[in-house]
């Protein structure tokens, strides 16, 4: 992903909107999010454009997210807690998938552009990154 070019394009398409660049532990950009219609304007929903190479494995307690692929193909990995297995879903351009509260998931793409609708609106306090939770747990256990 060429983060600089993507950020320039997002700034042109969505002037004045907040852009968040997520990086992995090696400092490589894995996801860029542009809040096009943020929660602070109306708490019941929010919309963002995400450009995704990968996202961390996470879940939300309250938020339902709908991903609509705008450009490219997105692979979503969702955990089935009843069967204790992951399912892989390939979402092509123009198609959507919904992630319900409590569904553990992660995403993979190749600078894939995705519109993300969150209901209620996305907030940091409802984002649970399992990689961070596991690291904290393992640190306490040693």
Decide the pairing of beta strands 29-37 and 18-23: antiparallel
Phi, psi (degrees; rounded to nearest 5) at 117: -105, 125
How many Cβ atoms from other residues are within 10 Å of residue 31's Cβ?
23
CA distance 26 to 43: 34
CA distance 49 to 11: 12
Give the pLDDT confidence of 33-67 residue by residue, as tens digits: 999 999 999 999 999 999 999 998 999 999 999 99
pLDDT band at 27 (very low <50, low <70, confident <90, very high): confident
Strand partners, 85: 80
pTM of the entire structure?
A: 0.89
Helix (H, G, I), strand (E, B), or coil: what is residue 6? Answer: helix
pLDDT band at 10 (very low <50, low <70, confident <90, very high): very high
Phi, psi (degrees; rounded to nearest 5) at 140: -70, -30
CA distance 133 to 30: 19
Domain 3-141 CATH assignment equals 1.20.1180.10: no
How many Cβ atoms from other residues are within 10 Å of residue 138's Cβ?
9
Q: What whole-number percentage of the chain has pLDDT above 70?
A: 94
How many Cβ atoms from other residues are within 10 Å of residue 15's Cβ?
7
């Amino acid at each position: 992903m060429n983060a600089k070019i993507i950020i320039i394009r997002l700034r042109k398409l969505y002037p004045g909107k907040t852009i968040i660049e997520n990086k992995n532990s090696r400092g490589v950009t894995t996801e860029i999010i542009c809040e096009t219609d943020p929660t602070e304007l109306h708490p019941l929903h929010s919309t963002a454009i995400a450009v995704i190479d990968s996202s961390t494995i996470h879940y939300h307690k309250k938020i339902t997210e709908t991903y609509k692929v705008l450009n490219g193909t997105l692979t979503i990995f969702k955990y089935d807690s009843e069967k204790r297995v992951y399912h892989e879903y390939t979402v092509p351009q123009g198609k959507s998938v919904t992630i319900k509260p409590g569904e553990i998931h992660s995403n993979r793409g190749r600078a894939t552009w995705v519109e993300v609708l969150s209901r209620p609106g996305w907030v940091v306090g409802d984002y649970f990154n399992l990689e961070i939770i596991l690291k904290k747990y393992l640190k306490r256990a040693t």
